[in-house]
Amino acid sequence: MQVLAAQPRTLLVLGDSISAAYGMSLQEGWVALLEEKLEQSHPGVRVVNASISGETTGGGLRRLPGLLDEHRPGVVLIELGGNDGLRGFPPARIADNLTSMASLARNAGAKVLLLSMEIPPNYGSRYTAAFRDSFRSAAEASGARLVPFLLEGVATDPTLMQADGIHPTAAAQPRLLANLLPHLKETL
């Protein structure tokens, strides 16, 4: 990968269905709401949503070098890991993939925010704790900024979740953005 100068005015979101606005139009999702907000507070910042429903940390790691070359972002938001956890992938592998992605982005000149995810408690306390810790350890190892659980205050409210119990509704998207904004503002 050829390292080109980062474009501080480009923000790349690399995520899964949570960022790809699953079950609603893209314009209703938190990433589109972020773009609208940044147009007001940080004119000229371009938001690139490279999120794909079903994406895993392994898939994100494979796609990231090309995305960095193409967009040269100044800020990268990584919202991945939920699908890995739901599939029971080893937390150490999740942490390694998250660390590699964050390190690649930082080495390309971007500031990195790693958005924490949680999985349902029916996976058992040992696995859910190890899964949660994979985000903290990846942030520490890579120097990324760790953002607390993006769905905080949403995931446990059935009125804000779609029928599948995994994806937030359109009505929940402003709350997701509100959970992220204080951390992003400090980075911008």
Find the catalytic residue in 103, 125, 167, 183: 167
Distances (CA, A) of 93 to 61, 126, 135, 136, 143: 12, 16, 11, 14, 18
* pLDDT, block means (10 residues), the chain with 188 residues: 56 98 96 95 93 98 98 97 96 98 97 96 94 97 97 95 95 97 89
Find the catalytic residue in 16, 17, 19, 137: 17
Q: Please report the pLDDT score of residue 3 as a whole number.
A: 43
Q: Please report the pLDDT score of residue 120 as a whole number.
A: 87
Question: 164 catalytic, yes or no?
Answer: yes
DSSP per residue, the chain: ------EEEEEEEEE-TTTTTTTS-GGGSHHHHHHHHHHHHSTTPEEEE---TT--HHHHHHHHHHHHHHH-EEEEEEE--HHHHHTT--HHHHHHHHHHHHHHHHHTT-EEEEE-----GGG-HHHHHHHHHHHHHHHHHHTPEEEP-TTTTTTT-GGGB-TTSSSB-GGGHHHHHHHHHHHHHHH-
Question: 42 catalytic, yes or no?
Answer: no
**CA–CA distance, 22 with 46 (Å, rounded to integer):** 22
Q: Decide if 61 contacts 100 (C-beta within 8 A).
A: yes
**CA–CA distance, 93 with 61 (Å, rounded to integer):** 12
Tell which CATH classification among 3.30.9.10, 3.40.50.720, 3.40.980.10, 3.40.50.1110 matches the domain 7-187: 3.40.50.1110
Q: Please report the pLDDT score of residue 4 as a whole number.
A: 45
Length of the chain: 188
Question: 71 catalytic, yes or no?
Answer: no
Q: Please report the pLDDT score of residue 8 as a whole number.
A: 58
Tokens of 109: 């000149």
